[in-house]
Structures are given as C-alpha cells and as structure tokens.
C-alpha cells in the first residue's frame, strides 16, 4: 500500500526500496534508474513510479503533514470495537472473537455470518470488519481511475449488457489519441496515479494495446492495470513489456458449472489459469466475482472469496449482479444491499491483511449509501470513472450506473469529502493541477 504523497527513500535492498511516509515505512519495487537513498518518490501498488525534486516533495509534505495525522486519528476513533450490547447471541460473539484474533474459522461459521439478518448483529459484524481493516491497512484508501476504452465485445456473458446479446447498442472504440488525451487529463489534471484501462473482449488487438500502454508510460508516471478480458500468456507478456503492471479480471464465479452456464462455450479453468499466469509474470491481481447470480449459493460465494485469496489478489472486486433487460438474465433480480455488505465483511475476515476491498459502482448503483457503509465495513478502495461522458453512456454493462452524469471533478470532490469524514487518506490520487483542495481535508 502506498500513499499518494511523496515518500523518502530510506533504504535500497536490490530492487526493493524502503520508503518513509511521516515515520511509517513501506516497501516498493523500484524500476527507476539510479534511485538513491534520500530521493523523494511517488510509489503506487508496490511500485516506485516517479522521482520528484526535494523542493517539490517537501512543499507537498508540508501541506499534508497535519492532515495526515488528523485523518489517522479520526479513523482510529471510528474503527474501535464496542461490545456494549450484552444481549448478543453467544455463537456470534464466539465467531467474531475468533475472527478478530485471526484464528481459523470454519466454513459453517462463515455461512452463519452470511445468514444473519438482525440489525444489531449485522452492525457488530460490520464493525469487526472495520476494526480488522484498520488494524492491517491503516487509514489508506485506494482511489483508482478507470477509462472504459471500448464497449465492443466478442463474448456471450449471459448477464452483461455489452455482450453480443445487446444487438442495438451503439458500439464505440476510443482512438489512440482520445485515450492518450483522457489519460493525460486523468493523470495531470486530476492527479490519478493508477489507471485501469477496460474494454470488452477483443475490442483491441494486443498490438494496439501495446502501443497505447507504451505511449502512456512514456509520457506519464502512472501505474497501469489492464482489464480487457482474456489475452493469453503471450498477450500478458507483451503488455507487461509495454509497462502494464496490474490485471483486473474477474473469474465471475468459482462454481465451474455455473461459470459455463453464464459463459456458454467457455471454461472457468482458462480464466483461472490466465490469472495465475499474470501473477507469475509479476502483475498485481485484481479479481473477484458477481454476487447474486441466479443459481448461486452462499457456499459458492464463500468459495469465490477463497479463490480470490488463493490467486494472491492485491484487490478484491466483488459486485452485485444487476439485471440488464437486453440480456438472457434480464428478468433475474439483484441481491440486497445488506447481503452485499455481509459478503464484503466476510471477505475482510477471510483475507485480513493482503487484499484491498473495492466498493464497486454496481454496489453503489443498487444502494446510494454503499460507498460510506462499505468503507466502514472492511472495504478500502474505490474506483472513479474518467471515461469521456459520451462513451460512458454507452458502456452499459448494466442499466442506470451510479455517477453516470457526474463530472470527474465532482466525483473527486465528493470522494475526498467522504474520505475526510471517515478519516481516510486517499492513495493513488495525488494533487493534480485542478483535482481537489487539500484544505478541504482539514
Ligand atoms: N451486473 C453487474 N456487473 C456486471 N458485469 C457485467 N455485467 C454485469 C451486470 N449485469 C461486470 C462483470 C465484469 C465487469 C467488467 O462488469 O463482472 O467482469
């Protein structure tokens, strides 16, 4: 985890840099030439992405210093556990006690948590997840940007509104220049330090993506995640060479029978192999699944979380299924927001200190308060959409997506003010030319 503030290189052990942030030390893999102890850098997702001058670093740090500690204090207050209600069910308390000591918990106990509906009990489950998040990750919250490059897609995913089933959808494919412009705006104007490039399957050839990524990396200091479906081992190798360092690819469901029902003609095994290959090559892995698919059981969902963990996910991306009328699952129903919250909390219990947990836009689409509540129940990551408006409207994986009409700057301001209220420091979002006013964090 790295803050979107400059850190000072304290030590170098081969390719590993130890970076100091106001007395807190974090490790990052260095790919910058001739980096020295004492240099100031920005690091993201465990990679040093940029060196900056001492003057620039110190002036940014000066502004941040007080805010940094104030936010930490607020987070600490909000994540304290209180067991004032003595009438709580003993079994629940026993499970949460084990969870909070990171002792082994049975499948049955996790299922028990997913089945609870009493508001007091749920509150305690969420608070425990928040406590664990705070204990292991501190008050950092990832704020990545995502560009939806193209809604062209060659696949037949039964739930997806940009799949081949949606015959009337106006398809778009951003040109290289448009992508570079959008990336420049996201990085320079808004201050994003990590960007996800997403499209449907086969919208771009690997060669096209190679050129795009290489150009972005030549021009800007940014961590790039690709999210373009399955591209096979050679494709992954090529895009790593171009400079991509992360892959966002959901396995969607860990139940292989359900996977084949949802993706006729395709196999879970291939998807999982792709994620394993990517991890071996050094990519950061962002993965997860859809919650609430027809026929999916609670056991399946627990297995999804275990699968994401076993794939060494750097970040979990679990979101609710939202029906799209132009797909074969158009008449199915979304899970409840309460169920999603329980899934996120249990995910935090199962993976306590490795994976960040993302609040997905789909979750915010089914529940307007999901972001704040989710961040207080174990999650510590959000993704803001920086796709140009005219394209964003056509990227209809499901209908009525949250933030569809919200300009980027407003999204950033809202996010920053929410993070401020709950004492979190944004990572991956630095101070761009016109991103946000740091004074607003005080
Ligand atoms: N509801 C929610 N999420 C969806 N996705 C696709 N269709 C839907 C839907 N109807 C998600 C898939 C995919 C990601 C890009 O979008 O999980 O991995």
Which regions of 151-283 does DSSP assign to beta strands (E)? 194-199, 223-227, 246-248
Q: In terms of C-beta density within 10 A (0-12 exposed, 13-18 middle, 19 or more buried), how is residue 214 classed?
A: middle
Res 204: pLDDT = 98
Q: Which value, in Å, is the radius of gyration of the alpha carbons in the chain? A: 21
Q: In terms of C-beta density within 10 A (0-12 exposed, 13-18 middle, 19 or more buried), how is residue 269 classed?
A: exposed
Report the separation in Å between the CA atom of 29 and the middle of ligand 1, taken as the mean of its atom positions.
Answer: 32
Backbone angle region of 317, left / alpha / beta, with phi > 0 → left and psi within -120 to 50 → alpha: beta
CA dist., res. 380 & res. 418, Å (int): 12
Average pLDDT value for residue range 114-134: 96
The alpha carbon of residue 57 and the mean position of all alpha carbons in its chain are separated, in whole angstroms, by 27
Whether the predicted pLDDT of 431 surpasses 60? no
Q: Which single residue is written with the structure tokens 């739930």?
A: 159
CA dist., res. 263 & res. 75, Å (int): 42
Report the separation in Å between the CA atom of 249 and the middle of ligand 1, taken as the mean of its atom positions.
Answer: 11
Q: Which of 149, 156, 159, 198 is the pocket-test mutation for ligand 1 (most atoms within 8 Å of CB)?
A: 159
Atom in ligand 1 nearest the alpha carbon of residue 289: 17
Report the separation in Å between the CA atom of 160 and the middle of ligand 1, taken as the mean of its atom positions.
Answer: 6
Q: What is the DSSP-derived secondary structure letter of residue 4?
A: S
User: CB–CB of 413/432 below 8 Å?
Assistant: no
Report the separation in Å between the CA atom of 245 and the middle of ligand 1, taken as the mean of its atom positions.
Answer: 22
CA dist., res. 428 & res. 224, Å (int): 11
Q: What are the φ and ψ backbone dihedral angles of 300, each rounded to 5 degrees?
A: -60, -45
- The residues pairing with 123 across neighbouring beta strands, listed in sequence order, are none
Report the separation in Å between the CA atom of 121 and the middle of ligand 1, taken as the mean of its atom positions.
Answer: 30
Report the separation in Å between the CA atom of 319 and the middle of ligand 1, taken as the mean of its atom positions.
Answer: 8
Residue 441: which pLDDT band, with cuts at 50, 70 and 90? very low
Whether the predicted pLDDT of 188 surpasses 70? yes
Residue 437: which pLDDT band, with cuts at 50, 70 and 90? low
Cα angle 375-400-434, degrees, rounded to a multiple of 5: 60
Q: Which single residue is written with the structure tokens 């291939």?
A: 270
State the DSSP string of 73-139. HHHHHHT------TTS-HHHHHHHHHHHTT----HHHHHHHHH---HHHHHHHHHHHHHHHHHHHTT
Whether the predicted pLDDT of 65 surpasses 50? yes
Average pLDDT value for residue range 2-26: 86
Whether the predicted pLDDT of 2 surpasses 50? no
Q: Which of 249, 319, 359 is the pocket-test mutation for ligand 1 (most atoms within 8 Å of CB)?
A: 319
Report the separation in Å between the CA atom of 396 and the middle of ligand 1, taken as the mean of its atom positions.
Answer: 9
Report the separation in Å between the CA atom of 289 and the middle of ligand 1, taken as the mean of its atom positions.
Answer: 9
Q: What is the DSSP-derived secondary structure letter of residue 380?
A: -
Atom in ligand 1 nearest the alpha carbon of residue 334: 1
Q: Which of 199, 398, 400, 402 is the pocket-test mutation for ligand 1 (most atoms within 8 Å of CB)?
A: 398
Report the separation in Å between the CA atom of 118 and the middle of ligand 1, taken as the mean of its atom positions.
Answer: 30
Whether the predicted pLDDT of 438 surpasses 90? no
CA dist., res. 411 & res. 405, Å (int): 10
CA dist., res. 424 & res. 24, Å (int): 15
Res 64: pLDDT = 80
State the DSSP string of 159-182. T-TTSTT-TTPPP-B--HHHHHHH
Residue 433: which pLDDT band, with cuts at 50, 70 and 90? low
Atom in ligand 1 nearest the alpha carbon of residue 397: 7
Whether the predicted pLDDT of 140 surpasses 70? yes
Positive or negative: CA dihedral 58, 138, 340, 224: positive
Atom in ligand 1 nearest the alpha carbon of residue 288: 17
Report the separation in Å between the CA atom of 251 and the middle of ligand 1, taken as the mean of its atom positions.
Answer: 11
Residue 336: which pLDDT band, with cuts at 50, 70 and 90? very high
User: CB–CB of 195/185 below 8 Å?
Assistant: no
* Per-residue exposure over 142-161, b if at least 16 CB sit within 10 Å of its own CB, e if not: bbbbbbbbbbbbebbbbbbb
Ligand 1 atom 2, closest CA: 321
Q: What are the φ and ψ backbone dihedral angles of 120, each rounded to 5 degrees?
A: -65, -40
Res 1: pLDDT = 36
Report the separation in Å between the CA atom of 191 and the middle of ligand 1, taken as the mean of its atom positions.
Answer: 27
Atom in ligand 1 nearest the alpha carbon of residue 327: 10
Atom in ligand 1 nearest the alpha carbon of residue 227: 15
242-298 per-position pLDDT tens digit = 999 999 999 999 999 999 999 999 999 999 999 999 999 999 999 999 999 999 999
Tell me if the pTM is above 0.85.
Answer: yes
Q: Which of 157, 160, 230, 400 is the pocket-test mutation for ligand 1 (most atoms within 8 Å of CB)?
A: 160
Ligand 1 atom 13, closest CA: 250
CB within 8 Å of 266: residues ≥ 6 apart = 155, 259, 260
Q: What is the DSSP-derived secondary structure letter of residue 335?
A: P
Atom in ligand 1 nearest the alpha carbon of residue 160: 7
CB within 8 Å of 258: residues ≥ 6 apart = 293, 295, 296, 300
Residues lining ligand 1, Cβ inside 6 A: 159-161, 250, 252, 290, 319, 321-322, 324, 362, 397-398
Atom in ligand 1 nearest the alpha carbon of residue 249: 18
Report the separation in Å between the CA atom of 290 and the middle of ligand 1, taken as the mean of its atom positions.
Answer: 7
CA dist., res. 205 & res. 66, Å (int): 47
Report the separation in Å between the CA atom of 324 and the middle of ligand 1, taken as the mean of its atom positions.
Answer: 10
């Amino acid at each position: 985890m790295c803050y979107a503030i400059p850190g000072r290189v304290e030590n170098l052990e081969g390719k590993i840099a130890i970076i100091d942030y106001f007395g807190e030390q974090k490790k990052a893999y260095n790919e910058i030439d001739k980096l020295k102890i004492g240099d100031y850098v920005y690091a993201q997702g465990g990679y040093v992405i940029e060196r900056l001058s001492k003057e620039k670093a110190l002036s940014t740090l000066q502004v941040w210093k007080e805010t940094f500690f104030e936010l930490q204090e607020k987070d600490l207050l909000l994540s304290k556990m209180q067991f004032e209600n003595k009438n709580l069910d003993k079994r629940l308390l026993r499970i949460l006690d084990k969870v909070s000591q990171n002792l082994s918990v049975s499948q049955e106990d996790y299922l028990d948590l997913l089945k609870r509906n009493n508001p007091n009990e749920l509150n305690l489950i969420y608070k425990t997840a928040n406590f664990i998040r705070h204990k292991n990750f501190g008050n950092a919250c990832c704020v990545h940007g995502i560009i939806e490059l193209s809604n062209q897609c060659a696949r037949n995913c039964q739930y997806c509104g940009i799949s081949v089933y949606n015959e009337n959808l106006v398809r778009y494919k951003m040109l290289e220049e448009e992508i570079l412009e959008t990336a420049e705006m996201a990085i320079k104007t808004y201050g994003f330090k990590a960007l996800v490039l997403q499209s449907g399957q086969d919208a771009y050839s690997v060669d096209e993506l190679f050129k795009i990524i290489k150009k972005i990396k030549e021009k800007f200091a940014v961590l790039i995640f690709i999210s373009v479906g399955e591209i096979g081992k050679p494709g992954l190798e090529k895009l790593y060479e171009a400079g991509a360092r992360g892959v966002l690819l959901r396995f969607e469901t860990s139940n292989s029978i359900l996977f084949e029902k949802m993706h006729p003609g395709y196999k879970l095994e291939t998807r999982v192999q792709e994620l394993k290959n990517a991890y071996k090559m050094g990519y950061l892995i962002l993965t997860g699944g859809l919650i609430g698919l027809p026929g999916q059981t609670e056991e399946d969902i627990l297995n999804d979380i275990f699968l994401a963990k076993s794939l060494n996910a750097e970040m979990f991306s679990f979101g609710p299924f939202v029906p799209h009328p132009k797909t074969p699952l158009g008449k199915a129903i979304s899970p409840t927001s309460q169920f999603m919250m329980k899934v996120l909390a249990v995910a935090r219990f199962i993976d306590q200190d490795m994976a960040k947990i993302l609040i997905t836009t789909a979750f915010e689409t089914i529940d307007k308060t999901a972001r704040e509540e989710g961040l207080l129940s174990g999650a510590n990551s959000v993704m803001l959409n920086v796709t140009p408006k005219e394209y964003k409207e056509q990227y209809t994986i499901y209908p009525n997506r949250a933030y569809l009409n919200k300009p980027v700057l407003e999204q950033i301001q809202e996010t920053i003010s929410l993070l401020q209220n709950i004492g979190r420091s944004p990572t991956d979002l630095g101070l761009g030319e016109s991103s946000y006013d740091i004074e607003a964090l005080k």
